[in-house]
Chains A and B, each alone.
Chain A
Amino acid sequence: MLRQNYLPVSEELMMREDLAKLALDEASRLGASFSEVRFEDTARELIVYVNGRVVTLSFQRSVGAGIRVLHGGSIGFASTSDLSSEGILAAVREAVKAAKAAAPGDRRLAPHPAKSARYRIEGVKRHPAVVPLEEKLDLVKRAYSVAKEGGAASATARYGAHYGVVEVYASDGTSVSAERLVVGVSAAVVLREADRVGDGAEAHGASRGIEVFEVKTPERIAGQALAYARDSLRASRPPAGYLTVITRPELTGVFAHESFGHLTEGDFVAAGTSPLTGKLGEKIASDAVTIVEAGFDERGGYVLLADDEGVPTRRVVLVERGVLKGYLHSRESAALLGMEPTGNGRAQSFNHEVIVRMRNTFFEAGDWSEEEMIQETKYGLILDKPAGGQVEEDGTFTFNARIGYLIEKGEIREPVRDVVLAGNILEMLKHVDAASKEVVLYTSPFGGCGKMGQMVHVGDGGPALRTTLLVGGEKR
């Protein structure tokens, strides 16, 4: 079990304890009833290889501190990249000033159990920090070669990694450090044939070392991108209107994240603007729907063992056989609703305040096979390869598929491309009537989830899922 590798090792020393003490003492002297310092020391590597040429080769180091204080019932935040004593003290004063500006308030921070711990991602064989650059360049060149040999008119291959440590110290005794790690390789291919253009993309990411690309090789990644591009070349726009849709696992993940996950975020629930506010225990979906949100899962995705408030990540069952069971919380949102923090308090960097964010969001398995789901569909679409999505606070959601196929009389027909799917979550989850047995989880160092101007790495996934959605396409 992977879980055992992630047990906190509390004996190890924290790196910036003294600086933290200085900040916490100053905040207390200025009247803060709670204060917290979050140090970040992370690196981001990126190689972009386009048409046989390195377009980007960059190394980005991110070192600094974010300070949160509670003063007069209000929360203030400030950040600094100046880690001298003066720099930290100035940031503390800014944070207190900010909190005073927002006062008066009724804010609190919910307590959490693990006060002092260090979370390391174990089992990493070849950490990106120690793998030579030549080898990383080789990954993108290998992916590119496959694309080129496959007839790509243009091809982009990328390697990316994000890794490092976040340390959190707070006046309530919190003293936690946790590792961050995600690596990935992607390939994007454009094919041209006469006046037709086909495009395809594939990526593989994991909170692991570079050894993951020994199994999911750059060649396989580029080969899959080529296969999608070939289908895309002969694909038409899908028929528009309400249709039966089967989403493959990667697309199911975006459905879980966009259509549903965001609405369970405790800040929206506490503000009363989520359509799921006050619906705990209610049946909101069909029996085929179980949705889970976790800091890690053995089947893959992103690994987050403690969040940016130092709270160990809990596995949260959001929906169990159609019944709404839980929300996602930071210490702030949990306090507002009288609930417990779930380890969903996250920030893009030291320069950003913690807000409620997802980690890995996924539908759980059902008992169908994908083949059975197709066979029992008279007319509809099976869709793959997400291109992102979005949700509004009335529950209207959209997400996109780059490629898919028409299903007629239980059989797969011609490919379709660039499909937008839309619906209202409270109606749509009731229409889910089948889920397949195999769950796959995905993550990536190249992008993530955006909320309130902050981007964080996440994971998502699920089985193949069948439902009814509004499809944007051609009037046929």
Chain B
Amino acid sequence: MSKSDLLALAERGVERALELGADEAEVFLSVSMGRDVYSEGQRLKAVAPSSQSAQVRVAKGRRVAAAVATSCNRDVLEELVSRAVELASKVEEDPHWRGLPDPEPPLHSWVGYDEGVATAEIGWLAELVRGMIDEAQRTPGVKVTVASAGISVGRYAMANSRGVSVEERGTRCSLGIYLKAGEGTGGEWASSRSLLRDYYPIVDAAVKQALDASRASKLGETLKAPVLFRAKSFAQLLASLLVPAFSAMSVLEGFSPLANKLGQRVLGALTIVDDGAMSGGLATSFFDGEGVARRRTILVEDGVLKSYLHNTYTARRMGVASTGNASRGAGAVGVGPSNLIVMGGGYSESELEAEAALVADGSLLSVHTVNPVTGNFSVVISNPYAVKGGELTPVKPVTVSGNIYEVAALIKPARRVKDTRTGIYTPDVLIGGLTVSG
């Protein structure tokens, strides 16, 4: 199906919904293709998934419903549209519904589509994986669990009954490796919109983690102390604990501790920006999940809450403009972040290390179980280091617990902002007053 065919089909779906009695309609169609090679131990496996998604949202008055299918086929879309219109006639009114978004031009010109990624051969990805395994196993005692290299290419077309008619495309390339050295584990991964082929830093980081972990000893005590989170570790905490609280949907529904806190100091010295228009960003696009232009939004400035993340629904309900953060999933249009940037502070990493009792590196296990409703978190650090006399000594996994808002005044970001290659750009961050046990 050519590019214009997809958009024409989306527009036709919108017309059909209106013919069937919908007052407003939106059709989102996407097509994606992936090529992934990964190893199970040292054995390679190659997969080439190809998927389509059709998502229809319609409103009859203030009654809204959605239907989703895994095909952009014309007949499937026809069935979806009628199902969505039928559902909308049965559901009750949403008193807060104020309609679909109006069309607007994009606010930037950067296209995250790399022809080199789109045309990468699966055989070449297999070579990368073999290279990663060989490189990792050059270090005696290291055993690869999984090494992977993959690309994905996607495009979407979206139309609504208010005149939104947009399409764009994107690429992504990812490399990752997880390995063991004795009883220690290490892992590193990276994603980019362009081709990634330099795997040495990824392998080196994972090997170092695993070797350090293999000689780790038990911390053997419970401390109330400052913990320095490495950028990638802090990014995981940010994504699970704070991002849900920034969602205006969570705020409206009473699930965010940041409700009614606009203008108040909530996060110490942190400045956090959502920027879906950033050149080179992993999550950059022209439009969000409902056709609103991606933009830059300051969420927190010097700890003071400035804005929530909005889609059109939450924005209209709260009387502000959408921040271009509509997300899509399972038929629902929700709120989600784009690129998140934590601004650098006034400290060097070594200054913060000197202040910390523990350095948190690697994965935060159980980070998906933190409580964004209260700000409570209790996670296990996979690769921690105890700081003693200026030296970093690896220790076995420890638990770190606290409440992010209660210790907000004790947060200190380092100066250098790092690309964690996960869509989050952050410095190392010191958080004081946490309980560490292991």
- Which residues on A are within 8 Å of B, measured CB to CB? 44, 46, 48, 50-51, 53-64, 74-82, 91, 94-95, 97-102, 105-107, 133-134, 137, 153-154, 156, 190, 197, 199, 237, 240-241, 267-268, 270-273, 275, 336, 349-353, 387-390, 392-396, 398-400, 402, 417-420, 422, 452, 470-475
Q: Are B401 and A105 in contact (CB under 8 A)?
A: no
Within 8 Å by CB of B379, from A97, A199, A394, A472, lies A472
With A50-B253, A398-B366, A418-B378 as known contacts, state yes or no: A58 contacts B68, CB within 8 Å.
yes
Q: Are B401 and A240 in contact (CB under 8 A)?
A: yes
Residue of A whose beta carbon sits closest to that of B145: A273
Q: Are A64 and B71 in contact (CB under 8 A)?
A: yes
How many residues of B sit at the interface, in one of the four size bands?
35 or more
Residues of chain A contacted by B123 (CB below 8 angstroms): 100-101
Residues of chain A contacted by B137 (CB below 8 angstroms): none
Nearest first, the 9 closest Cβ-Cβ pairs linking A and B are A58-B331, A271-B41, A472-B399, A154-B254, A420-B378, A98-B46, A387-B369, A400-B369, A102-B44
Annotate B72-109 by CB proximity to A: 1 below 8 A, 0 otherwise: 11001000100100010011101110000000000000
Q: How far is the CA of A352 from the CA of B65 in the complex (A)?
A: 28
Q: How far is the CA of A79 from the CA of B51 in the complex (A)?
A: 7
B338 contacts A by Cβ under 8 Å: no
Residue of B whose beta carbon sits closest to that of A154: B254
Residue of B whose beta carbon sits closest to that of A476: B222
With A64-B71, A398-B366 as known contacts, state yes or no: A270 contacts B40, CB within 8 Å.
yes
Residues of chain A contacted by B95 (CB below 8 angstroms): 53
Residues of chain A contacted by B143 (CB below 8 angstroms): 272-273
Q: How far is the CB of B227 from chain A (nearest CB, A)?
A: 12
Residue of B whose beta carbon sits closest to that of A266: B40
**Residues B194-224 near A (CB distance < 8 A):** 213, 222-224
Q: Are B437 and A472 in contact (CB under 8 A)?
A: yes
B422 contacts A by Cβ under 8 Å: no
Q: Are B48 and A270 in contact (CB under 8 A)?
A: no
Q: Are B40 and A197 in contact (CB under 8 A)?
A: no
Q: How far is the CA of A339 from the CA of B94 in the complex (A)?
A: 56
For A75, A270, A475, the residue with the greatest tally of chain B CB atoms inside 10 Å of its CB is: A475
Within 8 Å by CB of B51, from A81, A94, A389, A420, lies A81
Query: Can you show 10 pairs from A to B with CB atoms below 8 A apart?
Result: A53-B94, A59-B87, A77-B47, A101-B122, A101-B125, A102-B45, A271-B145, A392-B365, A395-B183, A473-B401
Residues of chain B contacted by A396 (CB below 8 angstroms): 185, 365, 380, 382, 396-397
Q: Are A58 and B67 in contact (CB under 8 A)?
A: yes
Q: How far is the CA of A257 from the CA of B90 in the complex (A)?
A: 40
Within 8 Å by CB of A91, from B35, B50, B223, B332, lies B50
Q: Are A76 and B46 in contact (CB under 8 A)?
A: yes
Q: How far is the CB of A296 from chain B (nearest CB, A)?
A: 26
With A75-B45, A102-B126, A418-B374 as known contacts, state yes or no: A63 contacts B399, CB within 8 Å.
no
For B49, B122, B224, B376, the residue with the greatest tally of chain A CB atoms inside 10 Å of its CB is: B49
Query: Known contacts A102-B45, A105-B43, A392-B397; can you find 15 more A-B pairs with CB under 8 A?
Result: A50-B253, A53-B96, A57-B64, A80-B50, A190-B254, A197-B373, A240-B435, A271-B145, A272-B143, A388-B366, A396-B397, A400-B369, A418-B374, A472-B378, A475-B224
Within 8 Å by CB of A422, from B42, B92, B331, B399, lies B399
Q: Are A63 and B70 in contact (CB under 8 A)?
A: yes
Residues of chain B contacted by A272 (CB below 8 angstroms): 41, 143
Residues of chain A contacted by B249 (CB below 8 angstroms): 55
Q: Are A46 and B369 in contact (CB under 8 A)?
A: no
Within 8 Å by CB of A420, from B45, B91, B399, lies B399
**Residues B389-404 near A (CB distance < 8 A):** 396-397, 399-401
Residue of A whose beta carbon sits closest to that of B94: A53
Residues of chain A contacted by B399 (CB below 8 angstroms): 240, 398, 420, 422, 470-473
Q: Are B65 and A58 in contact (CB under 8 A)?
A: yes
Q: Are B70 and A54 in contact (CB under 8 A)?
A: no
Residue of A whose beta carbon sits closest to that of B80: A61
Q: Are B401 and A388 in contact (CB under 8 A)?
A: no
Within 8 Å by CB of B401, from A54, A273, A399, A420, lies A420
Residue of B whose beta carbon sits closest to that of A58: B331
Residues of chain A contacted by B254 (CB below 8 angstroms): 51, 153-154, 190
Q: How far is the CB of A54 from chain B (nearest CB, A)?
A: 5
Q: How far is the CA of A192 from the CA of B213 in the complex (A)?
A: 43
Q: Are A98 and B47 in contact (CB under 8 A)?
A: yes
Q: Are A240 and B437 in contact (CB under 8 A)?
A: yes
With A79-B50, A388-B369, A390-B365 as known contacts, state yes or no: A56 contacts B332, CB within 8 Å.
yes
Q: How far is the CA of A390 from the CA of B71 in the complex (A)?
A: 33
Residue of B whose beta carbon sits closest to that of A349: B70
B347 contacts A by Cβ under 8 Å: no
Q: How far is the CA of A272 from the CA of B71 in the complex (A)?
A: 39
Q: Are B373 and A199 in contact (CB under 8 A)?
A: yes
Residues of chain A contacted by B64 (CB below 8 angstroms): 54, 57
Within 8 Å by CB of B330, from A58, A389, A400, lies A58
Q: Are B382 and A48 in contact (CB under 8 A)?
A: no
Residues of chain A contacted by B178 (CB below 8 angstroms): 393
B327 contacts A by Cβ under 8 Å: no
B61 contacts A by Cβ under 8 Å: no
Q: Are A267 and B40 in contact (CB under 8 A)?
A: yes
Residues of chain B contacted by A420 (CB below 8 angstroms): 366, 369, 378-380, 399, 401
Q: Are B69 and A61 in contact (CB under 8 A)?
A: yes
With A352-B49, A422-B380, A472-B378 as known contacts, state yes or no: A394 contacts B185, CB within 8 Å.
yes
Residues of chain A contacted by B213 (CB below 8 angstroms): 394
With A63-B69, A98-B122 as known contacts, state yes or no: A46 contacts B48, CB within 8 Å.
no
With A154-B254, A267-B40, A396-B365 as known contacts, state yes or no: A61 contacts B46, CB within 8 Å.
no
Q: How far is the CA of A61 from the CA of B56 in the complex (A)?
A: 12
With A53-B96, A422-B397, A470-B399 as known contacts, state yes or no: A475 contacts B330, CB within 8 Å.
no
Q: How far is the CB of B379 from chain A (nearest CB, A)?
A: 6
Q: Are B371 and A199 in contact (CB under 8 A)?
A: yes
Q: Are A418 and B376 in contact (CB under 8 A)?
A: yes
Residues of chain A contacted by B146 (CB below 8 angstroms): 452
Q: Are A270 and B41 in contact (CB under 8 A)?
A: yes
